[in-house]
Amino acid sequence: MEIFPMYQSALLQDLQARGLIAQITDAAALDELLSRESVTLYCGFDPTADSLHLGHLVPVLLLRRFQQAGHKPIALVGGATGMIGDPSFKATERKLNTPDVIAGWVGKIRGQVEPFLAFDGDNAAIMANNYDWFGSMNCLEFMRDIGKHFSVNAMIKKESVQQRLQREDQGISYTEFSYSLLQGYDFAELNRRHGCTLQIGGSDQWGNIVAGTDLTRRLNQKHVFGLTLPLVTKADGTKFGKTESGAIWLDAKKTSPYAFYQFWLNTADADVYKFLRYFTFLSVAELDAIEAADKASGQKPEAQRILAEQATELVHGRAALEAAQRISHSLFSGNLETLTESDFEQLAQDGVPGVALEKTTAGLIDVLVAAGLAKSKSEARGFLQSGSVAVNGQKVDALDHQIADAERRFGRFTLLRRGKKNYAMVRWP
């Protein structure tokens, strides 16, 4: 255990023990405030895609943690800021999306955040959209009322934009450079409207958050706070939240609950106890007990299973978790021979990637490519030659293998496996 300041607030104590605190603007004063009263806090999510991904989950869960501790969360979706693009620590200028695309994304992201928060009771959560105050603001107003409070001298010193200023081949547009003024003003506006006194965000947001605390002090003469979360890192140095097939999304249509469950199940031992602290609501005491039990057992650790269950249920719900477990069981420890027709239907429905073919005759190589298990026929041949392909659980290595009628379960389904963990279900006409 590292040495850390003793907070009086139970919430900060818990966050500290979970490793969820990177920086706080005025830790002592915030600690005092949080232990004294219910605080209104916010976190912003910009619509940069049609779904949030795992990187957004930590702050979303943090809003929930605050709410469970009796504080009032505001989830802000950046209908306005999303139209500008945050340059913080981004190597290149962003491509602007059209307003109607962004508006569509705002709706989706709103829908994804809402289930994590409670909208009743004294500390009911609030959904906000900064387009509400920026949409009608005119340019002169912005320049005079907001811009006047920002020093360009200070802004260009920020680490978050340094690489964009120093690199000759990558500039930064005036648009993106202005981003932190918008986010700064959000804080002031939420402070005025809802008495919001704390902003949370990833550690890359520190510069923008401080812009907000400064601006709120100047505009509203209010002392407000910022708290950042550490960047989620992996022990092996690779980027968290990505797999070979791309980002892990919270949207079940983009990343199935099964894939989501599998992602967590495959967490490295070196990371799993940290991730349990980040991504579950199990108490630190419970987590310590799990870790101790795993170390003592000398067997396969339980931590990955617990993490996968907790995280999947949290994001996709109980039913989706059970479906993911059902598939995982059939594919990895069950006997494929015993699957019934309705089990196959269920697998397809529950999220095993699949492809529907139109012809009934097909060489295995073509089917592997069609099912997305191989990028090209050459690759498919390579997989066959290395003995990594199985049809309905039976290893096949013949390059000219044709899918036979006997390999179509119930005349309709063929389950392909490439490597140990990549499955695809082929549906025949």
Partner RNA sequence: GGAGGGAUACCCAAGCGGUCAACGGGAUCAGACUGUAAAUCUGACGGCUCUGCCUUCGAAGGUUCGAAUCCUUCUCCCUCCA
Number of H helices, E strands in the chain: 19, 13
- Residue 328 makes contact with RNA by CB under 7 A: yes
Q: Bridge-partner residues for 40, per DSSP? A: 72, 196
Out of 18, 53, 164, 418, pick the active-site residue. Answer: 53
* Coarse DSSP helix, strand, coil percentages of the chain, rounded to the nearest 5 percent: 50, 15, 35
CA neighbor of 93 nearest in space, from 167, 38, 173, 15: 173
Cα pseudo-dihedral 283, 289, 290, 292, rounded to 10? 140
3-state secondary structure of 201: strand
Tell me the backbone φ, ψ of residue 318, rounded to 5 degrees.
-60, -45
Tell me if residue 16 is catalytic.
no
Report the C-alpha gap between 349 and 351 in whole angstroms: 6
Helices (H), 42-201: 54-68, 99-113, 131-134, 139-141, 152-155, 159-166, 174-177, 179-194
From the list 41-49, 59-67, 221-229, 378-386, the region that binds RNA by CB under 7 A is: 378-386
- Per-residue x/- track, 300-319, RNA (CB under 7 A): xx--x---------------
Q: By CB under 7 A, is residue 371 in contact with RNA? A: no
Residue 278 CB, nearest approach to RNA (Å): 18
When the beta carbons of 203 and 386 are compared against RNA, the nearer one is 386
Nearest Cα to 217, choosing from 205, 229, 226, 230? 226
- Listed in sequence order, the residues at least 6 apart from 279 whose beta carbon sits closer than 8 Å to its beta carbon are 57, 58, 61, 264, 307, 310, 311, 314
From 21-29, 139-147, 345-353, 385-393, span contacting RNA (CB under 7 A): 385-393
Q: Which is nearer to RNA, 7 or 260 (CB)?
A: 260
The answer to whether residue 379 forms part of the interface with RNA (CB under 7 A) is: yes
Looking at the Cβ atoms of 151 and 378, the one nearer to RNA is 378
Active-site residue identified among 18, 56, 274, 409: 56
- The reply to whether 251 sits near RNA by the rule CB under 7 A is no
Assess 266 for contact with RNA (CB under 7 A): yes
Half-sphere exposure for 57 (CA within 13 Å, toward CB): 24
Q: What is the largest CA-CA distance in the chain?
A: 76
- Residue of 100, 120, 236, 337 interacting with RNA (CB under 7 A): 236
Phi, psi angle pair for 249, to nearest 5° = -95, 160
Of the candidates 269, 286, 288, 341, which one interacts with RNA according to CB under 7 A? 269
381 binds RNA per the rule CB under 7 A: yes
Q: Find the binder of RNA among 13, 388, 412, 427 (CB under 7 A).
A: 388
Q: What's the closest the beta carbon of residue 170 comes to RNA, in angstroms?
A: 10
Q: Does 170 bind RNA (CB under 7 A)?
A: no
By CB under 7 A, tell whether 47 contacts RNA: no
Q: Is 94 a catalytic residue?
A: yes
The yes-or-no answer on residue 255 being catalytic is: no
Counting contacts by CB under 7 A, is residue 265 touching RNA?
yes
Q: Is 361 in the site for RNA (CB under 7 A)?
A: no
DSSP secondary structure of 25-54: SSHHHHHHHHHHS--EEEEEE--SSSS-BH
Asked whether position 92 contacts RNA by CB under 7 A, the answer is no
CB of 335 to RNA, least distance (A): 15
Cβ proximity of 348 and 293 under 8 Å? no
Closer to RNA by CB, 281 or 332: give it.
332
Give me the residues that bind RNA (CB under 7 A), please.
Answer: 168-169, 236, 238, 244, 262, 265-266, 268-269, 300-301, 304, 328, 332, 369, 375-379, 381-383, 386-388, 418-422
Query: Which residues participate in catalysis according to the annotation?
Result: 48, 53, 56, 90, 94, 183, 204, 239, 242-243
